[in-house]
Amino acid sequence: MTGLKDIALLTGRLLLALIFVHEGYTLMTNFSGGAEYMAKQGISLPLFVLVIVLQLGAGLLLVFGVLTRLGALALGLFCVATATMFHTNFANLNELLHFEKDLGIAGGMFTLAAVGAGAISIDRVLEPWLMQRFSRQA
């Protein structure tokens, strides 16, 4: 039976994933412009491609609730890195806002990594299977 907690976890996962799936898709469809901007920021092309893969891949993991803890942890660390690499000019209130936003999203991701995807997810079936599988080998 699905409870309010599971509906809240699904809603939270979808809202958090939207940010990354949208941004990853935007970067992918405007690859040359994104790569040019990132190069000006000192980000190499291979790292830029990795960012797109991370945003789309981990974002979709959250959407479907597959390996949610891992995807959320990766995106949380990505948000902390983004905040500290790109948004530290606190004299600019817009940059301060982006810094705080990135840290807030990271907090949501770390919380999701801690509690998991909930019952409305593929993880509901996958996690017990993985735990059983790996506990036998240990």
**Whole-prediction pTM:** 0.89
Query: What six digits make up the tokens of 66?
Result: 């597959």
Whole-angstrom Cα distance, residue 13 to residue 29?
24
Residue 53 pLDDT > 60: yes
Residue range 5-52, pLDDT digits in tens = 999 999 999 999 999 999 999 999 999 999 999 999 899 999 999 999
Interval 82-110 mean pLDDT: 96
**pLDDT grade, residue 2 (50/70/90)?**
confident
Interval 61-79 mean pLDDT: 97
Residue 71 pLDDT > 60: yes
Residue 129 pLDDT > 70: yes
pLDDT for res 132 = 79
Query: What six digits make up the tokens of 32?
Result: 């040359």
42: number of CA atoms within 13 Å, CB side? 3
Residue 136 pLDDT > 70: no
DSSP sequence for 59-113: HHHHHHTSSHHHHHHHHHHHHHHHHHHH---TTSHHHHHHHHHHHHHHHHHHHHH
